[in-house]
Every structure is written in structure tokens, then in C-alpha cells.
Chains A and B, each alone.
Chain A
Amino acid sequence: DIVMTQSPDSLAVSLGERATINCKSSQSVLYSSNNKNYLGWYQQKPGQPPKLLIYWASTRESGVPDRFSGSGSGTDFTLTISSLQAEDVAVYYCQQYYTTPITFGPGTKVDIK
């Protein structure tokens, strides 16, 4: 199974400042035949289901604010919130869908400093 790890476990950022979350996979999730990274990012607010933010490691889902961006390739990925807003307080998960079992990272909790 592909193991996903995230860092940090939690972070507190001032409103308007940048938040950066890292995700690492135990093996590459880059599919060489189409050059796509099978990596997604999700946001989960308390009492709500997860929401897809980013897929193919860097493609923003429709309706997601452009302050959210994804980068990376192979085994190392980053989710960046360029200017943190109050409504961004949530837990963020990375996920690989390169192969089953699909696996998620443990999550990173983002709070306001």
C-alpha cells in the first residue's frame, strides 16, 4: 500500500498570511504514460464531509478560490493557501489515487493565529 504522510500535524497562521502543507507518498504517484500525478487535496470543516480542492496535484477544482494551489511531483507535494481567510480553518488531507487501496494522509489542521 502507498503510505501518505503530511507535515506539519497542525499550524496556526495569521489572517492574510501564507499557509503551506506538505505531503509525501511512500512511492511515486506519477504515471509516466500520461505524466499525471495521481494526487488530490481535500478540505474538511467540522461536521462537514470532505471537499475536493485540488486534483492531478495542481488542478484546482471548479469554484475553489485561487488562493489555493497545489504543486509537486513524484513523491513530494505541497498545498499552499496564499492568503489565509477565516473560512479556511479546517483539516486538510492529501490523497493518492494512483492505485487501490486509495490512501489518505493523516491530515493537517489549520487554525488562525
Chain B
Amino acid sequence: EVQLLESGGGLVQPGGSLRLSCAASGFTFRSYSMNWVRQAPGKGLEWVSAISGSGASTYYADSVKGRFTISRDNSKNTLYLQMNSLRAEDTAVYYCARSYSSSVDDALDIWGQGTMVTVSS
């Protein structure tokens, strides 16, 4: 079964850091681009970042550029999101999502259940 499982969320103070992980199973992980998408409480979906299958290319929303870093370990079938200098407005459920193909420019066909990040003092 194709599956994505996020972990690493929690409560962090403003200015703090957190690293999210997304464990993939049931498919050839390195063949797909991967994404992080977030959803603030009661709000819509916001794409955060994407990474190519090899990890060579990364992309970010302006709202997180310079603060967040996406990476992947294809030997461990795991996607990461390092989040630094966290702000209250980063509070959201963070979803890991697979691109339909190796291209970043593709629909998101598989989603994890999400992990909650709360930034508050």
C-alpha cells in the first residue's frame, strides 16, 4: 500500500526550530518529486516546498524561503522539512504529498495524514 507518514510536529516557541519527517512506503520513492503543503487552522491549503526525485532541485514559497529547508534521503525513503526562525503564522497542519510523477510540475496524488505544528510562547 502506498503510504506517507509524517512526524515531528509539536509546540515550539517563536524563533525556534523543528524538523518534520515523512516516511514513504509502497512505491519507488526516488522516482517521485515530493512536496510539503500546510493548512492553518480553519484555512485553506498553502504549498510550502517541493524537491525533485534526486534531491538536486528544490523550490519554496516566498513565505518560507530562507527559513525552511526541504531535503530527502532516498536510502531511507524519507522526506524532511527543517523549519527555522518559526513564526506564529507558521502554525498549521503540515502535509507531505507526492507529485504524480518525477516532475515537480504535477498534481499531488498521495497525501499523508499531516502533523500539527504550533508556534506559540
User: Secondary structure at chain A's binding surface: helix, strand, loop or mixed?
Assistant: loop
B108 contacts the other chain (Cβ, under 8 Å)?
A: yes
Query: Among B59, B100, B107, B109, which residue has its beta carbon within 8 angstroms of that of A101?
Result: B59
Interface residues of B in 99-114 (CB under 8 A from A): 100, 104-109, 111-114
Size class of the contact patch on chain B: 20 to 34
Query: Contact between A101 and B105 (Cβ–Cβ < 8 Å)?
Result: no
Across the interface, name the chain B residue whose C-beta is closest to A49: B111
A93 contacts the other chain (Cβ, under 8 Å)?
A: yes
Q: Interface residues, chain B, CB within 8 Å of chain A?
A: 35, 37, 44-47, 50, 59-62, 95, 100, 104-109, 111-114
Q: Interface residues, chain A, CB within 8 Å of chain B?
A: 1, 38, 40, 42, 44, 49-52, 55-56, 61, 93, 95, 97-107
15 A-B pairs within 8 Å (CB atoms) are namely A38-B105, A49-B95, A49-B114, A50-B45, A52-B107, A52-B109, A55-B109, A56-B107, A95-B45, A102-B50, A103-B47, A104-B44, A104-B46, A105-B44, A107-B45
